Homo-oligomer: A and B are copies of this chain.
Amino acid sequence: MTERNGYQVIAGRLADEVAELAPGTKLASEHELMDRFGVGRASARAAVQELERRGLVRRVRGSGTFVNRRIDYVISRERRPSWHRTVESAGAVPRSTVLSSQLRPVPERCAHYLGVEPGTEVHHMRRLRFVDDHVAAVGEEWVKRDALTELGPAMRIEESLDELLRQMGRVDVVRSWCRTAMELPSEEIQAALEMNYVAPVWVVESINRDAATGTAVTYSTAWMRADVIRVVMEIGDTEPAPNIALHR
């Protein structure tokens, strides 16, 4: 008698093992799991899919199953989130590419946020963010022209927009408003995030304003893959405890 099996039991066992492995490590293939646990392919497969649902592994057709790494992205009033710093401090390799950068007339909703007439030309930028060369997020940013004369060449570097505005434009940008939720992505976003399946993604909208004048300067929306990023959002005037371990 081997033991009572069931794919849930196998998944639990594998989950324990995966917890001990470094991100990127390759797991046993479905065939190997079949032999190891004495089950059919359906069960072996179901177990690994269970791990995928839990966000513990990432599967690549033709290649294998790998231990996943998820990064905490903390959003709070005070903190200025930097993609590179966040990813690096998690021990991963950050990268970002500029997909497009140009002047564009603002769509209606954005115009409202920035407090300008719809159709006004503002800087518009799309960026892709990577973690360990895996697509993690796409973002869209709108910047009023009076905050910055030109955006294109300056943004070649891997810097945050806030940083740039503080240096190039002489604006002290502070977060004015931010909303986070999860949604099913549009097909466009899904394609940009290279998701070949439908799953909820984080949507982070934010408005930054000039600390001096109080007027809105940038509006941005970011879509983040939930299997790569875990958004943690904090509201509050007090930092309650430094030693909170949220995710074991």
How far does the alpha carbon of A244 sit from the alpha carbon of B108 in the complex, in Å?
11
Interface 9-residue window, one of A61-69, A138-146, A173-181: A173-181
In the bound complex, residues from chain B placing their C-beta under 8 Å from that of A240 are: 112-113, 177, 207
CB-CB under 8 A for A176 and B246, given A55-B200, A181-B231, A182-B230: no
- Contact call B109/A244, Cβ cutoff below 8 A: yes
Q: Within 8 Å of chain B (Cβ to Cβ): is A50? A: yes
How far does the alpha carbon of A110 sit from the alpha carbon of B112 in the complex, in Å?
42
- Contact call A207/B238, Cβ cutoff below 8 A: yes
How far does the alpha carbon of A177 sit from the alpha carbon of B238 in the complex, in Å?
6
Kindly identify, within residues 184 to 204 of chain A, every residue whose CB is under 8 Å from any CB belonging to chain B: 184, 198-200, 203
Q: Which of B50, B54, B113, B235 contacts A175 (CB under 8 A)?
A: B235
In the bound complex, residues from chain B placing their C-beta under 8 Å from that of A180 are: 180, 232-234
CB-CB under 8 A for A176 and B238, given A109-B244, A233-B181, A233-B233: yes
How far does the alpha carbon of A58 sit from the alpha carbon of B114 in the complex, in Å?
40
- Contact call A235/B233, Cβ cutoff below 8 A: yes
CB-CB under 8 A for A176 and B236, given A109-B241, A181-B246: yes
How far does the alpha carbon of A199 sit from the alpha carbon of B200 in the complex, in Å?
13
Q: Within 8 Å of chain B (Cβ to Cβ): is A84? A: no
Query: Chain B nearest CB: distance from A59 CB in Å?
Result: 15
Q: Which A residues are closer than 8 A to B by beta carbons?
A: 50, 53-55, 72, 75-77, 109, 112-113, 175-184, 198-200, 203, 207, 226, 230-238, 240-241, 244, 246-247
Can you spell out 24 A-B residue pairs with CB atoms less than 8 angstroms apart?
A53-B198, A53-B199, A54-B184, A55-B184, A76-B235, A77-B235, A109-B244, A175-B235, A175-B236, A176-B236, A177-B236, A178-B234, A178-B235, A179-B232, A179-B235, A179-B236, A179-B246, A180-B233, A182-B230, A203-B246, A207-B236, A207-B238, A233-B233, A233-B235
